[in-house]
Amino acid sequence: MCGIIGISSNKPVLTDIINSLKKLEYRGYDSAGIATLSDGEINEIKSEGRVDNLEQNFDLKNLKGNIGIGHVRWATHGIPNRINAHPHSSHNVSVVHNGIIENSTILKKTLISKGYKFKSQTDTEVIVHLISENLKTAELEEAVTKTLKQLHGSFALGIVFKDIPDLIVGARRGSPLAVGYGPNENYLGSDSYALKSMTNKITYLDDSEFCIVKKDEVNFFNEEGKKINKKILELSSDEESYQKGDFKHFMAKEIEEQPTTVKTGIKEYLDNVNNDVNLFNFPWKIDEIKSIKLIGCGTAYHSCLIAKYWFEELTSLDVNIDIASEFRYRNNRFKNDSLYIFVSQSGETADTYAALDLCNKNKMKTCSVVNVIESSIARNSNYVLPIHCGPEIGVASTKAFLGQILVLYILALKLGFLKNELEKIKYQEKIKDLKNLPNLIEKTLLLDSHIQSISSTFNEAKGSMFLGRGSSYPIALEGALKLKELSYIHAEGYPAGEMKHGPLALIEEGMPVVVLAPRDNYYKKTISNMQEVIARGAKVLLITNKSDDEVVSENIWETIEVESTNKDLLPFLLTIPLQKLAYYSALKKGYDIDKPRNLAKSVTVE
Ligand code: G6P
């Protein structure tokens, strides 16, 4: 994680660096810092906490310079305090870093023996001294090439030099880095989002490349230090979708945007005339795919879990799922007839990217379901299925989750149909139902005030549980994740049928338990499990879908009914009350909803 910005201009850069850092805070927000070059000196400021603290703690008028780097941190090595905040500077070099230098301890020992002094507990500081050391015997390009070869681990770097005051060096291995082009100035940034207000002309660095950014030119180099040419991409400029508008939080806006997410996905993937799914340029013949492996982290992993139920229901494919950080280190049996699907909102999650890289190295068929189509995961997959939900800024994923499960459902439908495992008539009926989904989501969003009133009970409790069976089980996991990450309330998601094997012991008088029991094949079983927790004193919030049959159970604390539809689509609707529950509970507690403690949106370290 961590966010990097660098600007080389013919005018003062401070204001643009501050503004970009504020945008980058979704990548990390435990400390912030800036270094500029002026009057032959490196000027450095840093603060614990948010970028706002920089503005409060320093007289920024004094921070002059037409060239500078900035950083927001998500701590890996060293506690989040001012000393460990980036940039890390010596008298002649200043560095901002995203990633982890795995051999920093060994490098530090060698550098100390050469007389270098260290101030912080970070791994980053070794880069400052290493490059100074290499510059003693080599010109810039050669010194950078040598330094990068000495570093193990992952990094995106921005480096400025007191004695070479007209440039910024940027470098990438594992962690993302982009270059932007403006009028009489050029930029370095962790992503295009940070640069958006300044430019829409972007070049992404690939692994092991570095660049030298001057105000009027940018040069790129490969890992051997040889100059290379790179393409400039022109991104669409949709600044408005990066604003909160009338909403109090990005999360609130992103929850409400979900009908549009689904509408856009439908428009992109459904052929209205033929009632069919369009998978443009799908690169494989259907018989080449006998099994599917879905891989992701966090909320994206929950999308994989739901998709497993759909793929198994709609196709005869063998389906496996994996958490990326587990997959990448296991002794996997790679299968040529398997399709490896990587699900990621950002397309930059380090573990998911590493899992993809592993599959690419083993020449597997790789497909990614991503939101950011310029991301590393998208650029390195054989085939990309974008979710088209627009920028998601809130750290807790909401609309991207719905976008991911929509695309995975559409893929399951198409593969089932192509494999002759889903009859045409059923296939087309399901497509028809899908078209009505945005409308049903809109209605579900109206349940707002009921959910808001329920949320205080969760805040008063020591902990809570979320239960479901079948495809409602991953939704239970997602509901519990949302509540814990936003409200810091202990929440467990469980398959309802597993309660008797241990978790039932946690139930005590008044404990809020969310039971997801839509009217699907599991309904009766889930209701029985619900009665078991009620009997032990739980305060049950039942979430089901509307039906003429009343729920036959006594002592249910609260019930929320979502709209009824084809059972495949119920996970979409059940998700929404859970997102709102977490939102309102955090709102009442006064927590920072878009930036929960200890977390970051884009997890670019493993
Ligand atoms: C972080 C975010 C989550 C997200 C996960 C995976 O933990 O806070 O919201 O689900 O990363 O991110 P990705 O970008 O790969 O979907």
Q: Among 297, 302, 353, 583, which residue has the most ligand 1 atoms within 8 Å of its CB, making it the best to mutate? A: 297
| Nearest atom, ligand 1, residue 600 CA | 8
Contact between 113 and 21 under an 8 Å Cβ cutoff? The reply is: no
Does the pLDDT of residue 551 top 80, yes or no?
A: no
**Could you state, in order of their start, the residue ranges of all structural domains in the chain?**
3-237, 251-435, 446-589
**Which pLDDT value is given to residue 175?**
85
Q: Does residue 601 carry a catalytic annotation?
A: yes
DSSP labels, 368-407:
EEES-TTSHHHHTSSEEEE-------SSS-SHHHHHHHHH
| Nearest atom, ligand 1, residue 397 CA | 9
User: Rounded CA gap, 292 and 238, in Å?
Assistant: 35
Average of per-residue pLDDT values in the chain: 93
State pLDDT tens for residues 557-592.
Answer: 999 999 999 999 999 999 999 999 999 999 999 999
State pLDDT tens for residues 43-55.
Answer: 999 999 999 999 9
State pLDDT tens for residues 94-134.
Answer: 999 999 999 999 999 999 999 999 999 999 999 999 999 99
Amino acid letter, residue 373? I
Which of 63-72, 104-113, 495-504, 550-559 is predicted least confidently? 550-559
Q: How far is CA 285 from the centre of its chain?
A: 31
Ligand 1 center from residue 498 Cα (angstroms): 27
Give mean pLDDT, residues 131-152: 97
Residue 316: CB atoms within 10 Å:
13
Query: Which residues lie below 8 Å from residue 601, measured CB to CB, with a gap of 6+?
Result: 1, 26, 27, 346, 392, 393, 394, 395
Catalytic residue among 308, 430, 539, 601: 601
**Which pLDDT value is given to residue 26?**
81
DSSP labels, 523-579:
HHHHHHHHHHHHHTT-EEEEEEE--SSPP--S--SEEEEEPP--GGGHHHHHHHHHH
pTM of the model: 0.82
Coil/strand/helix, residue 40: coil
DSSP state of 226: -
Contact between 305 and 474 under an 8 Å Cβ cutoff? The reply is: yes
User: Rounded CA gap, 407 and 69, in Å?
Assistant: 38
Pick 251-435's CATH classification: 3.40.50.2300, 3.40.50.10490, 2.40.110.10, 1.10.287.110. 3.40.50.10490
The CATH class that applies to domain 3-237 reads alpha beta
Query: Of the candidates 323, 317, 279, 320, which has an alpha carbon nearest to the alpha carbon of residue 300?
Result: 323
Ligand 1 center from residue 348 Cα (angstroms): 9
The token pair at 414 is 């198409």
The crossing angle, in degrees rounded to 10, of helices 298-314 and 399-418 is 20
| Nearest atom, ligand 1, residue 395 CA | 8
**Which pLDDT value is given to residue 244?**
84
Give mean pLDDT, residues 330-351: 94
User: Rounded CA gap, 336 and 291, in Å?
Assistant: 9
Ligand 1 center from residue 602 Cα (angstroms): 6
**Which pLDDT value is given to residue 489?**
93
251-435 matches 3-237 in CATH topology = no
Which of 140-144, 175-179, 232-236, 408-412 is predicted least confidently? 232-236
**Which pLDDT value is given to residue 192?**
82
**Which pLDDT value is given to residue 29?**
87
**Which pLDDT value is given to residue 237?**
59
Query: Of the candidates 120, 177, 111, 113, which has an alpha carbon nearest to the alpha carbon of residue 147?
Result: 111
**Which pLDDT value is given to residue 478?**
98
Query: Of the candidates 268, 344, 251, which has an alpha carbon nearest to the alpha carbon of residue 304?
Result: 344
Query: Of the candidates 11, 47, 12, 14, which has an alpha carbon nearest to the alpha carbon of residue 29?
Result: 47
Catalytic residue among 2, 211, 359, 367: 2
Does the pLDDT of residue 357 top 80, yes or no?
A: yes
State pLDDT tens for residues 385-439.
Answer: 999 999 999 999 999 999 999 999 999 999 999 999 999 999 999 999 999 999 9
User: Rounded CA gap, 212 and 140, in Å?
Assistant: 10
DSSP labels, 468-508:
E-TTHHHHHHHHHHHHHHHH--EEEEEEGGGGGGTGGGG--
**Which pLDDT value is given to residue 382?**
96
The CATH class that applies to domain 446-589 reads alpha beta
